[in-house]
Structure 1
Amino acid sequence: MKFKPIALIVNIAIALGIGALGGWATAQSVKTWYPTLHKPSFNPPNWLFAPVWTTLYILIGIAAYLVWMKRDKIEHLPRTIAIYFIQLILNLAWSFIFFYLHEIGFALFEIIILLMIIIANAITFYKIEKWAGILFIPYILWVSFASFLTYNIFILN
């Protein structure tokens, strides 16, 4: 497999672009609405979220690139692409639901669906390229934590 730097950059840029849109939806509420919520003691400091998400989006983009490099050998390419983009869209939707619409209960429901799709995406990628699936593990762990955090914020508010 010959390295394709432009393809790598495009795949990472797509994932980071989704993250940037989510950041836009989040930015105002992080300063105004979010501080007014009751949060559990294990709530991470606000400064931690941006570097964690940036790292995760880069890993997601690398995983997508690894799968893209094997696209000619993927039996169900449209399904693989659909799972990937559904997962990205749900990721973006959570930011809008939670931070823009302030719908904590709906965000909790949505993040559980998101987590299931992320796991499905990781399994799909793993079957195509082992490292692509492995790169999703930090994402699964973070969204699992985010789900638990969302649940606790929902309960406390």
Structure 2
Amino acid sequence: MIAAIAWAIVLGGAGGALTTIGLWYRNLKKPRWQPPDWLFGPAWTVILGLAAWAAVLGWEGAADADGRRTILILYGVNFVCHLLWSPLFFTMRRPDWALFEVVFLWGSVLALCIGLTPYSLLASWLIVPYLAWVSFAAILNLMIVRLNGPFGAKFGKG
């Protein structure tokens, strides 16, 4: 349980620390349907809390070391994929690279959803909001790239 809570806190904290809503971001063209900036923190708090709960349920449902190793691998891969998106988008100012990376993040969340099913059906369902939010975020990321691209040396400054 402690590891699951730490996973959620580190991801949430790192995501917040690596997300700088500065002039560069404010000047990007964004679709009208983008949620307000204040919504992202609470949304991620709920989503990562549910995913941590899913980890505990999956761990408890795993009957052997192989099952627990599978859960650790699924959450470890997701941790790396989740952690990479914000620096690509906000720190490096490369929404185009973040769009490429979000495919891996989405795949890691889908893998969690499917991979937890043998250990706990509830755990699998608790991942669905994460999958839905990352799907939404990927579409939002795509729209930002379409509205603002190309990115690179000229666009990444300022």
TM-score normalised over the length of structure 1? 0.88
- Could you tell me how far apart the structure 1 residues matched to 2:15 and 2:88 are? 10
CA RMSD of the aligned region, Å? 1.4
Q: Distance in 2 between matches of 1:131 and 1:35?
A: 39
Runs of 4+ in 1 over 4 A off after TM superposition: none
Residue of structure 1 equivalent to 2:4:
11
Unaligned runs of 5+ in 2: 149-158
Gaps of 5+ in 1: 1-6
Amino acid of the residue matched to residue 42 of structure 1? Answer: W
- Please state how far the C-alpha of 1:122 moved relative to its aligned partner: 0.8
Q: Which moved more, 1:64-73 or 1:127-136?
A: 64-73
Query: Which residue among 15, 18, 35 is the counterpart of 1:25?
Result: 18
Identity %: 35
Matched with 1:93 is 84
Contact 1:18 1:92 in 2 (8 A): yes
Q: Does 1:41 align with 2:32?
A: yes
Is 2:48 the partner of 1:57?
Answer: yes
If the length of structure 2 is used for normalisation, what is the TM-score? 0.87
Q: Give the Cα–Cα distance (whole angstroms) in 1 for the partners of residues 67 and 126 of structure 2.
A: 21
Give the total of aligned pairs: 148
What residue in structure 1 maps to residue 71 of structure 2? 80
